[in-house]
């Protein structure tokens, strides 16, 4: 449970950062990489 709350805190911080524009470009790049991975079949969608 402690690990979950820590991950949740990190995600919350990332969410706030993205919406404040701090890491918007980084988030976009990660999104693009994730989409490419999904398209190439590296990641199986649930």
CB atoms inside a 10 Å sphere around CB 27: 15
In a domain, 30, yes or no: yes
Query: Quick check: 43 and 37 in contact, CB under 8 A?
Result: yes
Confidence of residue 15 (pLDDT cuts 50, 70, 90): confident
Confidence of residue 2 (pLDDT cuts 50, 70, 90): confident
Q: Which domain holds residue 32?
A: 2-40
Q: Domain tally for the chain?
A: 1
In a domain, 16, yes or no: yes
In a domain, 46, yes or no: no
Q: What percent of the chain has pLDDT over 70?
A: 63
pLDDT of 22 over the 60 cut: no
Residue for token digits 């980084």? 26
pLDDT score recorded for residue 14: 75
pLDDT score recorded for residue 23: 55
> Which pTM value belongs to this model?
0.34
DSSP 46: -
């Amino acid at each position: 449970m402690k690990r979950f709350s820590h991950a949740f805190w990190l995600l919350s911080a990332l969410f706030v950062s993205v919406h404040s524009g701090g890491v918007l470009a980084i988030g976009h790049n990660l999104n693009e990489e994730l989409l490419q991975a999904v398209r190439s079949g590296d990641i199986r969608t649930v």
